[in-house]
Amino acid sequence: MKHIFLNLKRFDIPKELDGVNGIAPVKDWGSFIVKEIQEPLEAYRDEAVEFGVFFPEAHIVTAATAQSEDSMVKLGCQSVFRMDTSKGGNFGAFTANRTGNAMRALGCRTTIIGHCEERNDKSGILLEAGVTDKKAVNRILNQEILAAQKAGLEVLYCIGEKAEEQEEWQDILEEQLSIGLEGADKSKITIAYEPVWAIGPGKTPPDKAYITKIGAFVKDATGGMDVVYGGGLKQDNAKMLASIPEIDGGLIALTRFQGDIGFYPEEYLEIIRIYMGRQ
């Protein structure tokens, strides 16, 4: 199965508030994205590919109401809290945290957990508290994965090494996988590899050989789980990524990196066409 994930988070913030959204009013942003992409995606209904879209919770409601029946667009959320409501137990005392049950009720079917930005946030909080155990973040992410699955959500689990970890990348990725996936249903999880050391302006992305090596390593370490490239599926690397048997898709975020930086549906659809060989 191929997977094309669309990771939309801060791109809903308007430009006047220092964001990059100039394509729709904020109140219509979620519905606008869904309406723009769901009909063109019908061209791939007979293909073995799934499309996941990740929205901040403020836009999940409007995105869900814009979905057509049996839409190719699968809505998701930006991670979930490690605990949730339970019958006869906690009925929702999780102020400031989104739970899996809450996101499922809003219309989400999937969630992204362990993105490098989430890992950095949790690492910063733990360091502020004096925790130096590097495995702690992976244990917390494991709790989130288990909570998401208990709520009936599929998971995109992100792993990746930083620049200072490159020499020990195998140990880093193996630890993230073994701890993060402990006790989880692997059949409902897709792995996303993020080369954290290569993300950002002016940095050199990994080449085909490196990505192939990582894909093979993850599949071997997990017993053949699907793995997608999380360093950015773009127009200029879509054909290359589609040619790697060890990689089962990619994660799209920005579609334009110069000028009016941001996400544009027509450019997203062009990336899909290139990846699927419809050019």
pLDDT, one tens digit per residue, over 109-118 is 999 999 999 9
Q: Give me the pLDDT at residue 201, please.
A: 76
Burial of 201 (0-12, 13-18, 19+ CB in 10 A): exposed
pTM, two decimals, is 0.97
Rounded distance, CA 219 to CA 144, Å?
22
Q: Examine the pLDDT at 140 and tell me if it is beyond 90.
A: yes
Q: What's the whole-number mean pLDDT along residues 16-24?
A: 90
Is the pLDDT reported for residue 28 higher than 90? Answer: yes
Sign of CA dihedral 11, 13, 18, 20: positive
The answer, yes or no, to whether residue 10 has pLDDT greater than 80, is: no
Q: Alpha carbon of 141 to those of 61, 76, 148, 189: distances in Å?
A: 26, 17, 10, 13
Could you tell me the pLDDT band of residue 59, with boundaries at 50, 70 and 90?
very high
| Kind of pairing between the strands at 110-113 and 249-252 | unpaired
The set of catalytic residues is 115, 194
The pLDDT value given to residue 142: 98
Tell me the DSSP string of 193-238. E--GGG-STTPPPP-HHHHHHHHHHHHHHHTS--EEE-S---TTTH
Please tell me the distance from the alpha carbon of residue 140 to that of residue 179, in angstroms, as a whole number. 9
Kindly report the average pLDDT of the chain as a whole number: 95
Tokens linked to 104: 């499922």
* Per-residue model confidence (pLDDT) at position 245: 97
At residue 199, the pLDDT reads 87
Compute the average pLDDT of residues 208-231. Answer: 98
CATH class of 2-275: alpha beta
| Mean per-residue pLDDT, 227-238 | 96
pLDDT at position 257, please? 87
- Token pair of 67 as six digits: 């979905």
Indicate if the pLDDT at residue 198 is higher than 80.
Answer: yes
Q: Quick check: 163 pLDDT over 90?
A: yes
**pLDDT exceeds 80 at position 240:** yes
Cα separation, 90 vs 191, whole angstroms: 31
